[in-house]
């Protein structure tokens, strides 16, 4: 075996790749192909599904669930902007002014990961509850109207998603900002740039790789999220496309429609990412 391998050294990398690569082909590529074929089938779980090459399912689900598609994109966009607005100043502070507290601050950023994502979201449900300790107290002392609520509104859903993906945005931003040589900013100010100009023309362009990675790490999962919409929203006005996929697949067993929606979501996101990559030129599609 060893002697045989020595004669065919070119095979070694393929032997290394084979098990993991095969796993990804069987449990990532094959499921995608299966899902595409399921989307083109017609029938019910009871009578069985037959492949009819039903291309019409795509315009059908787009028409029927256009509201949920658009809402998901809108929420994801708002979440991305919010996480950037909160995450950038924070990452900047840790990178440039963190001093010896850098590691402690970074630990605090990832601390939410040490509790379950579901439990954190349920905690927000506690905090935002109509008669919970925040709103209830504010209502008791008369600062808020009795009918005021946050739960089951878009505000609750968007803040929930923002909370959950904020650390994913801070970390790549920090990595990008940390690499910047402060002397470059100093050079800019020495050349009579104002602090703002130095930031806009030196720091920000140099941290664009972090902005790129961070915005994708927020936007993509936010667009597919359904837990926040379910636990903090739960009304027709907050239903996202992920909720539709979950209900169609796990409750209604309407596999063709659920598959078609998943495919549209995935292809739409890939096209979006490619365009976005072109816009922020020079970014590579590797993590």
Q: Which of residues 225-284 bind another protein (CB under 8 A)?
A: 225-227, 231, 242, 245-246, 249-250, 255, 258-259, 262-263, 265-266, 269-270, 273
Report 10-49 residues binding another protein (CB under 8 A): 10, 12-14, 16-17, 19-21, 23-25, 27-32, 34-35, 37-38
To another protein, the closest distance from the beta carbon of 59 in angstroms equals 20
Tell me the CA distances in angstroms from 129 to 113, 125, 156, 169, one per residue in order.
Answer: 23, 6, 10, 27
To another protein, the closest distance from the beta carbon of 286 in angstroms equals 6
Q: Is residue 212 a contact point for another protein (CB under 8 A)?
A: no
Q: Is residue 204 a contact point for another protein (CB under 8 A)?
A: no
Contacts 24+ apart (CB under 8 A), 37-42: 38/255, 38/256, 38/259, 39/256, 39/259, 39/260, 39/263, 40/256, 41/255, 41/256, 42/256
Q: Is residue 53 a contact point for another protein (CB under 8 A)?
A: no
Report 140-159 residues binding another protein (CB under 8 A): none
Closer CB to another protein, residue 22 or residue 55? 22
Report 155-194 residues binding another protein (CB under 8 A): 163, 166-167, 186, 189-190
Report 66-125 residues binding another protein (CB under 8 A): 86, 89-90, 92-94, 97, 103, 105, 107-109, 111-125
To another protein, the closest distance from the beta carbon of 36 in angstroms equals 9
Q: Is residue 195 a contact point for another protein (CB under 8 A)?
A: yes
Q: Is residue 129 a contact point for another protein (CB under 8 A)?
A: yes
């Amino acid at each position: 075996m060893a002697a045989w391998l020595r004669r065919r050294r070119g095979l070694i990398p393929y032997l290394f790749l084979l098990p993991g690569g095969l796993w990804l082909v069987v449990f990532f590529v094959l499921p995608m192909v299966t899902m595409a074929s399921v989307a083109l089938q017609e029938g019910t779980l009871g009578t069985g599904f037959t492949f009819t090459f039903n291309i019409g399912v795509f315009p059908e689900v787009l028409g029927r669930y256009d509201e949920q598609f658009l809402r998901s994109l809108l929420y994801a966009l708002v979440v991305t902007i919010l996480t950037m607005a909160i995450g950038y100043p924070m990452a900047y502070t840790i990178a440039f002014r963190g001093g010896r507290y850098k590691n402690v601050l970074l630990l605090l950023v990832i601390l939410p990961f040490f509790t379950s994502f579901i439990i954190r979201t349920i905690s927000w449900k506690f905090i935002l509850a109509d008669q919970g300790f925040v709103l209830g107290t504010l209502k008791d002392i008369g600062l808020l109207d009795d009918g005021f609520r946050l739960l089951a509104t878009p505000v609750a859903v968007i803040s929930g998603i923002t909370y959950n993906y904020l650390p994913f945005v801070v970390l790549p931003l920090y990595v990008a900002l940390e690499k910047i040589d402060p002397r470059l900013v100093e050079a800019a100010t020495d050349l009579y740039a104002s602090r703002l100009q130095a930031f806009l023309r030196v720091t920000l362009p140099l941290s664009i790789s972090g902005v790129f990675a961070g915005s994708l790490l927020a936007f993509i999962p936010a667009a597919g999220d359904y837990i926040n919409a379910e636990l903090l929203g739960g009304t027709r006005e907050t239903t996202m496309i992920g909720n539709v996929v979950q209900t169609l697949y796990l409750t209604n067993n309407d596999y063709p429609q659920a598959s078609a929606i998943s495919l549209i979501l995935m292809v739409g996101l890939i096209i979006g990412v490619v365009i976005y990559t072109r816009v922020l030129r020079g970014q590579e599609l590797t993590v």
